[in-house]
Amino acid sequence: MSLRHAMLGLLAERPSSGYDLMKRFETSLTNVWPATQSQVYGELGKLAKAGLLEVVAEGPRGRKEYAITPEGRAELRHWLAETRPDRSRRSEMLLRVFFLDLLTPLEAVAYLSTEAERAASLRADLEQVKEQVQWDDGPLSVNGRLALEYGLRLSAMQEEWARWAAEQIGGTQAAEAGKS
């Protein structure tokens, strides 16, 4: 049930409408915890009914601004401090690696090279972000930098791994060819 906590976390920083919240998901959490519009509106209703959020203002176009309640903060803190992260790791990219022998070596190398390029391009994007964002030394900025650095290191590792893996297959192929 992490969607709920992601929302509580964002609203702990400042109150927002569902629409605002969606935009905040898209900008800061897309790569960490994506959410769809229907999910957000649905969960806002449930959280309000449960007393973890409350409507603090109503604006034009039926806009409802939600703020976290003390109960909501308690729940958020409980989640952060007293529960362990669920690490369910599902990686379609890696699943495909298990079946790479069903492709020709050429196709397999192409797959891995594409992965390497994708990682490299993500890394370049993140470097850009690192340059452009003003790191204003607020507490929020610290968290963001930690997460960004994770992304940087992950994409670097992925690129290196994919290039190495492509070479393993390319090398095997070359050796096989050499035998005959």
Residues of the shown chain interacting with DNA in the complex, contacts defined by CB under 7 A: 1-3, 17-20, 34-39, 41-42, 44-45, 59-64, 88, 90
* Ranges within 93-122 binding its own copies (CB under 8 A): 93-103, 107, 111
59 binds, among DNA, its own copies, none (CB under 5 to 8 A by kind): DNA
Q: How far apart are CA 154 and CA 82, in angstroms?
A: 27
Size of the chain, expressed as the number of residues it contains: 180
Cα dist. 174→106, 167, 171, 177 in Å?
A: 11, 10, 5, 5
List the x/- string, 3-22, binding to its own copies by CB under 8 A: --xx--x--x----------
Least distance in Å: CB of 66 to DNA? 8
Interaction residues for its own copies, span 77-96 (CB under 8 A):
77, 80-81, 85-96
- Look-up of token digits 């470097």: 127
Measure the CA–CA gap between 112 and 93, rounded to whole angstroms.
10
Which residues ranging from 29 to 58 are in contact with its own copies (CB under 8 A)?
29, 31-34
**Backbone angles phi and psi of 65, in degrees to 5:** -95, 130
Contact 36, 10 (CB under 8 A): no
Q: Are strands 53-58 and 64-68 parallel, antiparallel or unpaired?
A: antiparallel
Nearer to DNA, 45 or 171 (CB): 45
Q: Does 154 participate in binding its own copies (rule CB under 8 A)?
A: yes
Contact 79, 71 (CB under 8 A): no
Residues that bind its own copies (CB under 8 A): 2, 5-6, 9, 12, 28-29, 31-34, 76-77, 80-81, 85-103, 107, 111, 139-140, 142-147, 149-150, 153-154, 157, 160-161, 164-165, 168-169, 172
